Amino acid sequence: MHRLSAALLAFVLATPALAASELPAIGTAFPSWSLRDHTGTVVTSESLRGKTYLLWYYPKAQTPGCTIEGRGLRDDFPSFQQRGVEILGVSFDDPRANATFVTAEQFPFRLLSDTDRTLALQVGAAASADAPVSRRVSFLVGPDGKVIKTYGMVIPTTHAADVLADLVAKP
C-alpha cells in the first residue's frame, strides 16, 4: 500500500469540510464531463444520461481512508445496483494507479482520472489546479443530469450507508 508523505497527510487532514455553497446546488445541472476510466476508456456525463450515478471523489488510490470508503461502496454494490445507481470513483491518479486499486480491492465499479482537475475545480473537489489530492466529496446525480444530493463532509466508514439511506428516503 502506498504511504502518504508527511506533507500530503498534513494537507489531507487540514482540508476543511466544504460549505454547501462551494458545491453544486441540489436541483441544478451537474457540469458536463469526460474522463478516462482505469482501463483507459473515456466515460462522459452524456453516456450516463438516463441513469442515476454516484460520483465520489477520493484523495488518493490505495491510501487508508480511500480504501475503507471504496470497500464500503464495493460491499454495498448490490444495494446500489438494485436502486439503479452506478458508482464512479474519481481521483487525480492516472488510470494505471486506479487500475491497480481496482484489482487490489476487487472493485466492481469504474475509477476515473481527473488528472487535470478540470471537473474537480468546477464542483469544489479541488481548491486549486495544483492541489496534490482531491477533497473527499461526492455527488448523487439523477437521470436528468441534475444534482440530487451533495456530500461535502464524507466519512469513509459510513459513506456507502449514508448514500443508501438517502436513496431509500428519496421520494
Q: How far apart are CA 104 and CA 143, in angstroms?
A: 31
Cell of 157: 466508514
The residue annotated as part of the active site, out of 23, 43, 54, 66, is 66
Q: Does the active-site annotation cover 83?
A: no
* Other beta carbons within 10 Å of 161: 14
Q: How far apart are CA 83 and CA 143, in angstroms?
A: 12
Q: How far apart are CA 151 and CA 41, in angstroms?
A: 27
DSSP code per residue over 38-96: TTS-EEETGGGTTSEEEEEE-SSTTSHHHHHHHHHHHHTHHHHHHTTEEEEEEESS-HH
Cite the active site residues: 66
